[in-house]
């Protein structure tokens, strides 16, 4: 026997319902985000490695442990994108999208790659949908971004009561450096009780110690000074405005001073939406924040930005956990059946004509018997079967069968389209 192959560890084929769920997630994103003035952007799936090391930060788990990096045949260091914000910003700088203080509202959808330990809701190739508002500095933009994310999840069918919106501020270059020093000192003072990773973070990325899942570390970090209490005046005002706007919009949130997202580029507002059921510890279905320094990190001019990314697999799991079927487009199709070989070509021609008029139409391509064609029509959930036999051809028409009511009637060729589109199901 010839060897067969399975998809690589941490990847999954999207087939059948999972492929259609992904389609729906993307079409809903387009529908919702368009209402906010967002248009799509497509960037390469791989970038020069530096885009991520500079953008996301050397000290992050993503850059330190999770990137798929390789040398291409020209000796360049290339990385499969672990997220898409850095790529979008690289593209915006290259194209001058935000030159002369212009702003850009962009969204994307596609696969991302991280070498993580696979588990439910965590894969090595996973799909994200994201939005980036470039050149926007006002707290209004933060509020609109969060409202758009919430709008997206509720439009998909997630119940508001099943979601928790967490918000925090990461400060900025004025207040964060001093806080980092204090936090690093706290970590060093408590090194005995903390895990090696957290102790190491004192020098590289002390805020990430809040994210450690180990109970002992959590207890100690609970006593640490919080950045939310050390914000500078401007960051505090920004945060207050965002929260007031969310209050005015009737959106409920929880202030979570432990929320520090995994990538280095965040400044000020960060947010995450979590669900309580169905996902275990991988319960964040989407999140994002403001990243006012990323343009400069990637060689551009200072440009304030805010964005988010949604995890597609986790969103589908969250919908399944609350028993919400994803609205999959299953508009009915028409099946044109040939009684005998003599009518097969006419059946194909009729299917082509119906497609030309905008209907989904199928005909047999495998010389099946009439009975087998009806089975196919059932499987495709056809609403009607149009039967073409010798008699129908002679009378210039078809026998139209309504698959639900089982009613059959002769319809002339000239009125097939009208009958199909008006027949009550
Ligand atoms: P991040 O880019 O880390 O901010 O992640 C944004 C969202 O992507 C998360 O909230 C998750 O829903 C999803 N996500 C991140 N990493 C993975 C992964 N390895 N597998 C599946 N989903 C992921």
Q: Is the C-beta atom of 313 inside 6 A of ligand 1?
A: yes
Residue-level pLDDT at 423 = 75
If DSSP codes are grouped into helix, strand and coil, which group holds residue 70? Answer: strand
Residue-level pLDDT at 331 = 66
CA distance 63 to 80: 11
Residue-level pLDDT at 424 = 57
Q: Are 24 and 92 in contact (CB under 8 A)?
A: no
Distances (CA, A) of 2 to 5, 8, 9, 291: 10, 18, 21, 51
Residue-level pLDDT at 328 = 66
Q: Is the C-beta atom of 211 inside 6 A of ligand 1?
A: no
Residue-level pLDDT at 59 = 82
For the CA of 315, the nearest atom of ligand 1: 12
Q: Is the C-beta atom of 307 inside 6 A of ligand 1?
A: no
In the chain, % helix, strand, coil (3-state, to 5) comes to 45, 20, 35
What pTM, to 2 d.p., does this model score? 0.90
Instruction: Report mean pLDDT in 10-residue bins for the chain, 425 residues.
Output: 92 92 95 98 98 91 94 98 98 96 96 96 97 98 98 96 96 93 93 91 87 89 92 97 98 94 87 87 93 96 97 94 74 91 96 94 96 95 96 96 95 92 71
Cβ burial of 115 (10 Å; 0-12, 13-18, 19+) is middle
Residue-level pLDDT at 205 = 85
CA distance 88 to 71: 22
Q: Is the C-beta atom of 335 inside 6 A of ligand 1?
A: no
Q: Are 202 and 277 in contact (CB under 8 A)?
A: no
Residue-level pLDDT at 203 = 84
Q: Is the C-beta atom of 83 inside 6 A of ligand 1?
A: yes
DSSP one-letter string for 100-123: GG--EEEEEEEEEE-----BTTB-
If DSSP codes are grouped into helix, strand and coil, which group holds residue 29? Answer: helix
CA distance 200 to 188: 9
Strand 333-338 and strand 361-363: pairing?
A: parallel
CA distance 354 to 352: 6
Question: Mutate which of 307, 314, 316 to test ligand 1's pocket (most atoms within 8 Å of Cβ)?
Answer: 314
Q: Is the C-beta atom of 397 inside 6 A of ligand 1?
A: no
């Amino acid at each position: 026997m010839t060897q067969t192959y399975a998809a690589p560890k941490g990847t999954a084929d999207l087939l059948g319902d999972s492929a259609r769920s992904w389609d729906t997630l993307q079409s809903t994103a387009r529908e919702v985000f368009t209402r906010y003035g967002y248009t799509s952007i497509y960037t390469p799936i791989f970038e020069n490695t530096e885009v991520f090391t500079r953008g996301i930060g050397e000290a992050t788990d993503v850059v330190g442990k999770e990137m798929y990096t390789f040398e291409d045949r020209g000796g360049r260091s290339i990385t499969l994108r672990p997220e898409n914000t850095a790529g979008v910003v690289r593209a915006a700088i290259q194209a001058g999208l935000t030159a002369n203080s212009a702003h850009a509202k962009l969204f994307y959808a596609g696969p991302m790659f991280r070498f993580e330990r696979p588990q439910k809701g965590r894969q090595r190739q996973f799909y994200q949908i994201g939005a980036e508002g470039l050149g926007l500095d006002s707290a209004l933009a933060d509020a609109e971004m969060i409202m758009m994310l919430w709008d997206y999840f509720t439009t998909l069918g997630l119940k508001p009561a099943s979601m928790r919106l967490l918000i925090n501020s990461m400060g900025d270059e004025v207040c964060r450096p001093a806080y980092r020093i204090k936090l690093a000192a706290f970590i060093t003072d408590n090194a005995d009780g903390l895990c090696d990773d957290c102790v190491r973070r004192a020098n590289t990325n002390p805020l990430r110690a809040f994210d450690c899942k180990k109970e002992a570390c959590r207890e100690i970090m609970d006593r640490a000074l919080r950045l939310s209490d050390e914000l500078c005046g401007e960051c505090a005002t920004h945060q207050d405005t965002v929260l007031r706007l969310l209050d005015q919009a009737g959106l409920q949130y929880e202030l979570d001073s432990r929320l520090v997202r995994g990538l280095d580029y965040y400044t000020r507002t960060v947010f995450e939406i979590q669900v309580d059921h169905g996902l275990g510890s991988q319960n964040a279905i989407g999140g994002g924040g403001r990243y006012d320094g990323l343009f400069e990190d990637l060689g551009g001019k200072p440009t304030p930005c805010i964005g988010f990314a949604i995890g597609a697999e986790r969103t589908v799991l969250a919908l399944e956990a609350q028993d919400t079927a994803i609205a999959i487009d299953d508009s009915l199709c028409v099946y044109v059946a040939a009684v005998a070989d003599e009518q097969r070509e006419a059946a194909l021609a009729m299917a082509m004509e119906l497609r030309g008029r905008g209907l989904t139409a199928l005909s047999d391509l495998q010389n099946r018997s009439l009975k087998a064609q009806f089975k196919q029509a059932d499987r495709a959930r056809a609403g009607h079967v149009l039967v073409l036999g010798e008699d129908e051809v002679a009378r210039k028409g078809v026998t139209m069968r309504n698959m639900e009511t089982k009613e059959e009637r002769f319809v002339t060729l000239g009125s097939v389209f009208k009958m199909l589109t008006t027949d009550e199901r």
